[in-house]
Amino acid sequence: MAAAPPAPGETQGTLDPRRKTLAAAVAGILQEVGFLAFEKAALGTLTEMLQSLLHEIGRSTRAYSELAYRTEPVGADVVMALVDMGITLEGLQAFRSRPNRVVITAPSQQIRSHTRHTSLTTCRPFPDTHTYCFSHTYKQPVTEYEAIREKAAAQKRDIERALTKFATKTRDTQNLFLTDDKEYLLVSVEPNPKAYLDALMPRDQVFEEEEEHHTKKKRRIATEEGDPGQEKDKMNESQEGELDNPYLRPVKMPRKGKAKNLLDHHAWADEQDSTLQLVQMLYRHGDRSPITLYPTDPHGNVSAVWPMGLGQLTKKGKAMHYELGHWLRGRYNTLVGAEWVPEELVVRSSDTDRTLMSAACNLAAFYFPKHEEERFEKHLPWMPTPIHTVPANLDKLILIDSSCPRAKVEEKNLDDLPEVRKILDENQDLFKFLSEKTGETVDNITAVSYLFDTLQIEAAYNLTLPSWTKDIWERMERLHFLSFKLMAYTPELKSLRAGPLIKEFGDNMKKKVAGNSSSSSISNTKIYMYSAHDATLAILTEALGVYNGLPPPYATVFLLELHKVGDQHFVKMYYHNDTAMKEPPYPLVLPGCSERCPLDNWLSLTAKVVLDDWDKECHSGYPFGLSLNTFAAICAAVILGVLLLILLIYNLIMCHRRKSHFAYRPVPSSSP
């Protein structure tokens, strides 16, 4: 790592004082460890490394502060940032109390006399004071934007009033009442207003349709009639002797540049032959009801509060994905047609009601039949689109914990990590408090996260929360955020939980580039749509190194686009978490690559997360490669079968003994 060179024209003496202080601290540390002399370049390199570390700590501290909705960081945010970077407070305290510590003293204050370069006698005398006095006609120039807008609005109102009065005197009018008075006159509507009225009427904006219409009309007239110069001469000849009234001239439409569509525009592809080849999107379902309720929940009457049931999509959630479908159609309207084609779009969902229904609502807007001839039922503006899913115990892409027992074991092993163990120890009082208040066992971060999710949903629906939640809300929120970070905290969890999905993304792009797959429906696919959960999005982005630390909101979508520029293929990643669908997606940059990442680089950088034999790794450590639940079920079945066999043998033996007991006996003969 090389030290950053100073800016042009900048010397060591003009560097930032903070940088100089940091360099002095590094020099003191080097002196403590035994260095008597060091090169200037080495000192600059170490200073740059320390500065980068401090900058990263400050950035993480600010991020944790923003996650807790605070404007200024506190000590807890610094501790979280240090723990996140693997720095313990014990190590900092030990370093601070080292015996051979070098104390850096402040430099002595030196008063330097500055040379006067300009003599005061050479300055021109100030003008008279009356020069700066404002006269009665003086007025400050209007430069503020709001003042200019107010002035323009006032001018517009005055012009409209004057034109209205003028129109009532020159055009046909109608009366609002059946009387002869002229107090409430109405100007009759004409299909083609006078040209001078259209020219004088102020306009806030000119729509692109009007501009294109007038531009095409002007070009067509010029093409049909020949040289525009000849037409101009004819017009001048025909209008000789007439008054040149500017209000009777043809209307001139102001030109306006065509606005750029932020949804379809890619800045990196400007002035290049860029074509979108493939889109793979992963989105979270819409707004839902709580998954679980705690025993002491005051809103525990599920049928009254949540008539749709627990963990189900709400009416608001359906509307969210319908809007997301509109947004996706506007973004990829040129990629796929208006009607569903099997070779163009494939939809995959987890085996839950809320994700299946979210995908259905999304597709209802994405393939909205505008015309009646496109509908199979005249009064039903809907087009059926297939959605594929697999049972949860066989899902290897979206909900993989049921099919990968080792993932749960690795997540349980997180409790043994020093930084996680420290957080658990610090929140033992919170776990005990929540267990007492909720009536259920709350002894880990995941349990707190599920409880906070329930409380958060109830608060969003204006349900009164218990009073004990106010004092611990922020602590629960921090653990809730941390739970998403821990889902893919270690390399093993990244590979087990996100590896199959990242592998499928890469395989789909390679098939698209090759174009010679055995199945034509796969090679011709243009959109892969995955309906998933917040955990799926958090795990995927964390495995790719682009997670922002926030739980994904409802209807959040991750976009993976494959572009072709010339003969090369590039990958673009976007993250759209705006539920209102008003903002463009946020571009993501894969660590080690650029925003426009070449496909080969993207595949090589993500290869470390992909496992060669995912099934084997998921079941490693279990007898015969079976999961713990499966092995336990098989053992229970074997034991039950052995018991039944023993019971059957015992019954056979007892029956045999009974038969031998009731055998015939000889009758004793009577004595003579």
d(CA 601, CA 589): 12
The token pair that represents 536 in the structure block: 């799926």
d(CA 231, CA 357): 64
DSSP, res 607: T
d(CA 45, CA 51): 10
Are 497 and 400 a contacting pair, CB within 8 Å?
Answer: yes
d(CA 534, CA 487): 11
Handedness of CA 600, 606, 607, 608 (dihedral sign): positive
Long-range contacts of 546-550 (CB under 8 A, 24+ apart): 546/573, 546/575, 546/588, 546/589, 546/590, 546/591, 547/484, 547/485, 548/575, 549/63, 549/67, 549/481, 549/485, 550/67, 550/481, 550/577
- Helix, strand, or coil (residue 552): coil
DSSP conformation letters of 12-45: GGGS-HHHHHHHHHHHHHHHHTT-S---HHHHHH
Residue type, 372: E
User: Which residues are part of the catalytic machinery?
Assistant: 285, 534
Buried b (16+ CB within 10 A) or exposed e, 386-409: ebebbeeeebbbbbbbbbbbbbee
The closest alpha carbon to 293, from 494, 127, 440, 126, belongs to 440
Residue type, 374: E
d(CA 528, CA 277): 12
DSSP, res 478: H
The closest alpha carbon to 86, from 420, 408, 353, 416, belongs to 420
The token pair that represents 295 in the structure block: 């025993």
The pairing of beta strand 568-576 with beta strand 597-598: antiparallel
- Helix, strand, or coil (residue 565): strand
The closest alpha carbon to 382, from 392, 372, 397, belongs to 372
- Helix, strand, or coil (residue 70): coil
| Per-residue CA distances from 134 to 126, 129, 147, 240 (Å) | 18, 11, 21, 52
| Per-residue CA distances from 80 to 58, 59, 430, 474, 490 (Å) | 11, 12, 18, 14, 18
The closest alpha carbon to 554, from 320, 382, 361, 390, belongs to 320
